[in-house]
Amino acid sequence: MAFVPHSSSVGQRWRLFCLSLVLAVTAALLGAPAATAEVQHPRQQWMRESTAGLFLHWGMFTAPRHTDCATWEHDVTAGGWSPDYWVDEARKLGASYIVLATFHSRLGYARPWPSKIPGSCSTDRDFLGELVNAGKAKGIKVMLYMTDDPQWHNEVAGVRTLDSDAYSAYKGEKVDLTTREGFGRFSYDQFFEVMENYPDLAGFWIDNDNEYWESHQLYEQIRAKRPSWLLTNNNEDTPIMDTVSNEQKTGMTPAYDYPSAAFTPMPRISEGDYKLPTSGDWWYDGKDHPVDFRQSTGRYITNAGSSMKSLMAETAMVNGRFPPSQQAYNDFMAGWTAPIRSSMEGTEGGGYMYGGMQPGFWNDGAHGVITVGPGAVTQYVHVVTRPRTDMVRLRDNGYRATRVTDVRTGKDVAFSQSGGYLTILDIADWDPYDTVFKVETDGRQHSYYPQKSLRAAASSAADGHPGGAVVDGSDGNYWDSDGRLPASVTIDLGNLRRATSLAVNQREWSPTHARSTFGRPEDSARIKDYAVSASDDGRHWRTVRAGALPSARGVQLIDIGEQKARYLKLDVRNTWAGPQAPDFFGRLRIDEIKVAYGAPVSGSAQVPLEAESRRNDRDGAVRASACGACSGSARLVGFGGGSRNSVTFHDVTAAEAGNYRLQFDHTAGAAASLSVRVNGAAAIDVPVPAGNPDVPGSTAVSVPLTAGANTVEVFSTASRGPGLDRIVVGPLPPASYVPKTTMTVEPHGLQWVGAGQQSVQVTAELRLDADDALDGVRLAPKAPAGWTVEGGPATASSLRLGQTLKARWTLLSPPGADVTPTTVPVTAEFLTLGTPHTVTQNVGIRPRPADRVFMREAEDSRNRLGTAGLTGCSPCSGGEKVRNIGGSAAADVLFPDVTVDRAGTYPLFIDYTVNGDRSFLVSVDGGAPVEAAVSGIGNSTPQTTSVPVTLTAGSHTIRVYNDRKSAPDLDRLSLGQP
């Protein structure tokens, strides 16, 4: 059915008839309500088989900027533009598709195709059609970018990129393209024209939603007219879309670990959309911006390791060619990916629903991902950040390795496997960006109980997501604790059985690290503090393991030692999410829990510095003891009483003299200590925390070694010392390395105070988010000149993963004077392997202007942000603002405790930023809202408006929101004199 525009009332009725027909056809085609699309559908197969796409930015504003469409088209053609060049460059990147972004708000809303619909630049030459045909000839799909946003129509002074008059004449009625509704109508027409004229297009990449599209069932009509086309949406998971694209996520650790910012669980298709040029107005300014090879290749690999597609954004020049830096990267990728193509094509991310070993942080600073072939029999270990030593050690998740080869060289590599770990040894051929090992396995059929033999029940569960979902063998079903924590799930093994570990696959529905991007507060809904208990009868329980799991994607392994039980219970005490992320706070979802009854042993090589090795000298009562969870399946026990019961390692070598990291893998049921003496020097005491006596933990210290061979003697001065599995020696982390922590200081946001002496309550919490222990921790504010602090520093001898240090203080300003602009630093000091580090957050305090009776930042920690969130804004007051207000009742900002000392009508001043026309709604104490309609020219230009509010004497709550439409970004509220 062709799209035929009409403007008369008859035409209106015709459109309604067509719409009803289209919706009927849609329902018939999809076999389901039109509002819901399939997570998996045959039309998606080509995208699922893809590794990457090229996000091509190019338009009328591509430098040198053109303001006349015909001139731009002439210069494009005269410059020698060729669609085959773009297709060939995409293939160099390993891309299977191109997203052409020209109808873009920052590129002049250019349409490089002939169009009968006036309103923005449209060319006579059919560049889009030529690209689609060139791609089809070489197996490259083409998708078309469509924007929802008219706000940049006046970005260039004196240039009209949206022609409302021409479009209005075409429609036969007045339409303002600079409004969201008017632009929605204009762009709505584009969809249908493109669908009619380009049947070989692969679909639309849609930059967020427009209300007009949604109210006119655009997506349902696309499904009906082009059922084979894909729909992608940017930064939100819209049910009818095939793909969720995660645009420009930053701030991760490591910086290339793009999947840690994703929020959509498999098997939904997800893209990581990132720019290759690393600076400036890269999408159009024509400059040769550098490409960070390290970060870009890291993103490419880690995305593949999470079954995400890498959508790499580049910008072509007017003639279609790429600037030299981008061209060089494309050329590099063509050669660099060729030897490892087998590990990327036809594979899925390992450690998730497709099986495979555990991705993430490995030994000695290593980080990487796993890709797996069908059934995870063949797996690929991608070492993106190499360890500081020449071996890689990772959790095997029960897969027994039979052979390991270096994919780039084809050489066999020595390996050892025991205790739940695969260790790849003596690695010499390190690639600077991704060293890849092919691991051939014979599966894990002898390590885990079949899921169908288990039963499970939970302490609480949301409708449709019971505890039994964790053992049903389907990642499509999951347990949801219904927002209740603590929560527990109990697994029934059927009878008394051996159990050694749990493999927990949590729902990958939230980011794994705390950050704010695009104004959304995001945090990890992953398990933090947990305990595992065992029982023979389901009534009497014994705790077999307790601790914290990292905030990380992929399977998490919990060793519980050698247990014989019928029931195992996982108690989840809390998650990593904080209250600033209400969508995730207190929420728990688990896909699957598998129960292991053993660990595979394979490989002919020996892991260096095993405690039980015959190369070591044992004295006194020290002896070997079986330990299924230990490296080499054994450890040494019998320590205690001093150096008469000891083990001495003679082959601890160092290339040069200096300080090194010495790690002890130990077992201890109760807190104890080890002592280490290097080359006969004074002993160093190493505290060992309590744990499961059959499960190794790790503690590291800094020790001096000489060049060549060194002796390391280990003993314990405790009456009964811990067991020793092995020691590990490697370089210290660089001095710049600081273990990842989260420090929360309240109040957050500038504090505006009145006249006279002031008292400010400050609280702080430091949380360790990494495995590296912190020693000698001290947390305290530093009083500015004339100020005093009530309350002493908070201290801890050490912090381990997930542990926190909290404190509260009262700050008093100088008496007899008004507050002057003041910044109070709150600092955490600690040692990591003997190296001192500090983490600081500031509390800013400012005198309130004399003409204001109240003033508070939108980002102030006293406010409730709902699903809105903080984002940086350097020109704004305090350097932050609240974004993503409006569009739903939950996306609001609530200002409690707005206090005035007398009744009256006050001017409420609203500091905001906006691009275009939007409105706030303001409600006092739940009363009828007042609208504050505003207009602006940029999201980085703060402005002020005001509305009157009537207040009684006392405390009030002010709500800023817009239930139906997007509101401006909010910087600050203040009340003037009544």
Q: What is the pLDDT of residue 34?
A: 34
Question: What is the CB neighbour count within 10 angstroms for residue 743?
Answer: 16
pLDDT digits (tens, 9 = 90+) for 655-684: 999 999 999 999 999 999 999 999 999 999
Whether residue 31 is predicted with pLDDT greater than 80 in this model: the reply is no
Q: Quick one: pLDDT band at residue 26, thresholds 50, 70, 90? A: very low
| Domain positions in the chain | 52-338, 348-441, 451-596, 617-731, 735-845, 849-978
Contacts (Cβ under 8 Å, ≥6 apart) of 591:
265, 353, 469, 470, 475, 477, 478, 505, 506, 507
Q: Which of these, 522, 480, 576, 532, lies nearest to 802 by C-alpha position?
A: 576
Distance CA 563, CA 567 (A): 10
> Span 496-509, mean pLDDT?
97
Whether residue 1 is predicted with pLDDT greater than 90 in this model: the reply is no
CA angle 761, 763, 764 (to 5 degrees): 155
Q: What is the pLDDT of residue 954?
A: 97
Q: What is the pLDDT of residue 476?
A: 85
- 178: burial class by Cβ within 10 Å (0-12, 13-18, 19+)? middle
The amino acid present at 711, given as its one-letter code, is T
Q: Could you tell me the fold of the domain covering 52-338? A: TIM Barrel (3.20.20)
Distance CA 883, CA 871 (A): 7
- 504: burial class by Cβ within 10 Å (0-12, 13-18, 19+)? buried
Q: Which two tokens stand for residue 918?
A: 């939007």
Whether residue 145 is predicted with pLDDT greater than 90 in this model: the reply is yes
Q: What is the pLDDT of residue 661?
A: 97
> Span 137-165, mean pLDDT?
92
Q: Quick one: pLDDT band at residue 519, thresholds 50, 70, 90? A: low
Q: Which two tokens stand for residue 356?
A: 């495979």
Instruction: Return the exposure string of 815-833: e unless at least 16 CB atoms fall within 10 Å of the residue's CB, then b.
Output: eeeebeebebebbbbbebb
Q: Are strands 617-619 and 969-976 parallel, antiparallel or unpaired?
A: unpaired
Percent of the chain scored above 70 by pLDDT?
Answer: 96
Q: Quick one: pLDDT band at residue 834, thresholds 50, 70, 90? A: very high
Q: Which of these, 680, 669, 696, lies nearest to 646 by C-alpha position?
A: 680
pLDDT digits (tens, 9 = 90+) for 900-947: 999 999 999 999 999 878 999 999 999 999 999 998 877 889 999 999
Contact of 260 with 306, CB cutoff 8 Å: no
Contacts (Cβ under 8 Å, ≥6 apart) of 543:
531, 532, 533
The amino acid present at 810, given as its one-letter code, is T
What does pTM read for this prediction? 0.93
Q: Which two tokens stand for residue 56?
A: 């091509």
For residues 282 and 234, which has the higher predicted lDDT (pLDDT)?
A: 234
Q: What is the pLDDT of residue 280?
A: 79
Percent of the chain scored above 90 by pLDDT?
Answer: 86
Q: Where are the beta strands (DSSP E) in 45-174?
A: 52-57, 95-101, 141-147
Q: What is the DSSP letter of 574?
A: -
Q: What is the pLDDT of residue 595?
A: 98
CATH for 617-731?
2.60.120.260
Distance CA 890, CA 931 (A): 18
Contact of 80 with 317, CB cutoff 8 Å: no
**DSSP codes, 438-492:** EEEE--STTTB--GGG-EEEESS-BTTB-GGGGGSS-TT--EE-TT-SSEEEEEE
Contacts (Cβ under 8 Å, ≥6 apart) of 285:
63
Contact of 423 with 416, CB cutoff 8 Å: yes
Q: Quick one: pLDDT band at residue 729, thresholds 50, 70, 90? A: very high
pLDDT digits (tens, 9 = 90+) for 49-58: 999 999 999 9
Distance CA 275, CA 444 (A): 39
One fold for both 735-845 and 849-978?
no
Give the rounded distance of the alpha carbon of 502 from its chain centre.
25
Contact of 925 with 911, CB cutoff 8 Å: no
Q: What is the pLDDT of residue 938?
A: 75
For residues 736 and 487, which has the higher predicted lDDT (pLDDT)?
A: 487
Whether residue 898 is predicted with pLDDT greater than 50 in this model: the reply is yes
- 664: burial class by Cβ within 10 Å (0-12, 13-18, 19+)? buried
Q: What is the pLDDT of residue 19?
A: 40
Q: Helices in 255-403 by DSSP H: which ranges? A: 293-304, 324-336
The amino acid present at 919, given as its one-letter code, is S
**Mean pLDDT estimate for the chain:** 93
Q: Which of these, 959, 973, 975, lies nearest to 886 by C-alpha position?
A: 959
pLDDT digits (tens, 9 = 90+) for 730-775: 999 998 999 999 999 999 999 999 999 999 999 999 999 999 899 9
Q: Is 348-441 a CATH 1.10.10.10 domain? A: no
Q: Which two tokens stand for residue 65?
A: 């900027």
End-to-end CA distance of the chain: 62
CATH for 849-978?
2.60.120.260
Which CATH architecture best describes the domain 735-845? Sandwich (2.60)
Q: What is the pLDDT of residue 517?
A: 63
> Span 293-300, mean pLDDT?
98
Q: Is 451-596 a CATH 2.60.120.260 domain? A: yes
Q: What is the pLDDT of residue 38?
A: 77
